[in-house]
Amino acid sequence: MIAPNPNDPDRRTFLAVAGAGVLVSNIMAQKQAVPLAPPDKQPPDLKVPDPPKKPAGYAIVGLGQLALEQVMPAFAECKRSKPVALVSGHPDKAKKVAAAYGIDPKNVYDYQTYDKLADNPAVDAVYIILPNSMHAEYTLRGLKAGKHVLCEKPMAANVAECERMIDAAKEAKKKLMIAYRLRYEPFNMKAIELVRGGEIGKLKSITASHCQNTEAPNIRLSRELAGGPVGDVGIYCLNACRYLTGEEPTEVTAVAQQPKDDPRFKEVPESVTFTLRFPSGVIATCDCSFGTDESRRYRALGADGFLELDPSFPYHGLRLRVQKGGKISEYKLEEKNHFAGEMDHFSECVLDGKDPRTPGEEGLADVRVIAAIEEAWKIGKMVAVSK
């Protein structure tokens, strides 16, 4: 037999033909060893994800700056909340917003047809983002339509309205929550934990500031719409003092400045500085303004150190530092979308029957103090907070 020439292409053919039988039988053997279908018996430790829980459907009521720039985009970061309806006085805008967020145009309402939400089972909750003077009316009508209510801060224009909202929610057996977004984000929650946990020793005083330049026209500059710096921005300082201490202030003092030469402040003060006295002895000094550059911060001063959140109130970029024994440490926490956290918490309340962390009573407590602050600046004396 002539040995095949290794360079001869025919040799390769010869070898290939000779080896083919072996190769085919090897492949067959391997193929038989590999199961052709998954076993019908599943491994005992197989992890199968649960189906996604049904999200709560929201009707957004009032398509202004907050609704369009913060709340609607925040739904993308929600796990249990979905926008399903809109309520607006401007149908063209509302239809455009509905198209952008995949909302059925049939689910666009105006302020007259708002009550028809009662016939829309896709809507579990209404989120009221209207001028402050409209919060009470739209909460009451929302409850009457059988919906749970998430309402922006300040809860309402006065104490009596807040009380009516709370009573109506109880009667309707629906959830009522005030949208204090900072109670649903990590930096302010950590500050509460540290201050109440004694990290800076016994808490003695708090200073807080929330100021901005508010340009006309603006709902915040209208008395009729229940604007004014205390309810709009000062409320963040007030609420922070209440959540850091875990107490209700008993007395307040206040001074207000309402310049006559600035047309923006014909109806509401430009700036208000107020002090709060708490039962434990903590004294808080807060300032709020519509006529200065931005200032959004607080500092809690204890016997052994201080905690500072600066800035403390914006949507992004919060910074938390603690000074103790002359050493400053900064807490690096993961930023979370405030509105997504707030809405998903409310959805849990609606869907799972939990109680809101910031219920109507929380909004009422702030409005009680705001009423005392207004009285204090008008009469120029210390005022007791009503109970």
8 A C-beta contact, residue 239 and residue 182: yes
Long-range contacts of range 200-203, CB-CB < 8 Å, 24 or more positions apart? 200/300, 200/301, 200/302, 200/303, 200/304, 200/305, 200/306, 200/307, 200/322, 200/324, 201/302, 201/303, 201/304, 201/305, 202/302, 202/303, 203/244, 203/245, 203/280, 203/282, 203/300, 203/301, 203/302
Q: Does 230 bind ligand NDP (CB under 6 A)?
A: no
| Residue 188 in contact with ligand NDP, rule: CB under 6 A | no
Nearer of residues 152 and 270 to ligand NDP, judged by Cβ: 152
Count of Cβ atoms closer than 10 Å to residue 269 Cβ: 21
CB of 250 to ligand NDP, least distance (A): 26
Token pair for 199:
């990290």
Q: Are 128 and 139 a contacting pair, CB within 8 Å? A: yes
Which CB atom, from 224 or from 304, has the smaller least distance to ligand NDP?
224
Annotated catalytic residue, options 147, 153, 175, 190: 153
Nearest residue (CB) to ligand NDP, 203 versus 225: 225
**Residue number of the CB atom closest to ligand NDP:** 64
Total binding residues for ligand NDP by CB under 6 A?
19
Site string for ligand NDP, 148-177 (x = CB under 6 A): ----xx------------------------
Q: Could you write out the DSSP letters of every residue in 51-96?
A: PPPPPEEEEEE--SHHIIIIIHHHGGG-SSEEEEEEE-S-HHHHHH
Which of 81, 88, 120, 139 is close enough to bind ligand NDP by CB under 6 A?
Answer: 88
**372: Cα within 13 Å, side-chain hemisphere:** 23
127: annotated active-site residue: no
89 binds ligand NDP (CB under 6 A): yes
Three-state secondary-structure class, residue 299: strand
If binding is defined by CB under 6 A, does position 131 make contact with ligand NDP?
Answer: yes
For ligand NDP, which is the closer residue by CB, 147 or 153?
153
Write down the least CB distance from residue 50 to ligand NDP, Å.
Answer: 32
Give whichever of 177 and 322 is closer to ligand NDP, judged by the CB atom: 177
The active-site residue out of 109, 127, 180, 236 is 236
Q: Is there a catalytic annotation at residue 184?
A: no
Q: Is 305 an interacting residue with respect to ligand NDP (CB under 6 A)?
A: no
Task: Select 227 or 249, whichever has its Cβ closest to ligand NDP.
Answer: 227
In the numeric block, the tokens 């796990």 are attached to 79
Query: CA Rg, the chain, in Å?
Result: 31
Q: Determine contact, residues 146/80, Cβ cutoff 8 Å.
A: no
Which of these ranges, 6-14, 40-48, 130-138, 238-246, lies near ligand NDP under the rule CB under 6 A? 130-138
Using CB under 6 A as the binding rule, whether residue 314 contacts ligand NDP is answered as no
Q: What angle do CA 348, 354, 356 make, to 5 degrees?
A: 85
Which residue stretch of 57-65, 116-124, 285-293, 324-332 sits at the interface with ligand NDP (rule: CB under 6 A)? 57-65
Q: Does 219 bind ligand NDP (CB under 6 A)?
A: yes
The C-alpha atoms of residue 325 and residue 290 are separated, in whole angstroms, by 37
As annotated, the active-site residues are 153, 236
Which residues sit at the interface with ligand NDP, rule CB under 6 A?
62-67, 88-90, 129-132, 152-153, 179, 181, 219, 232
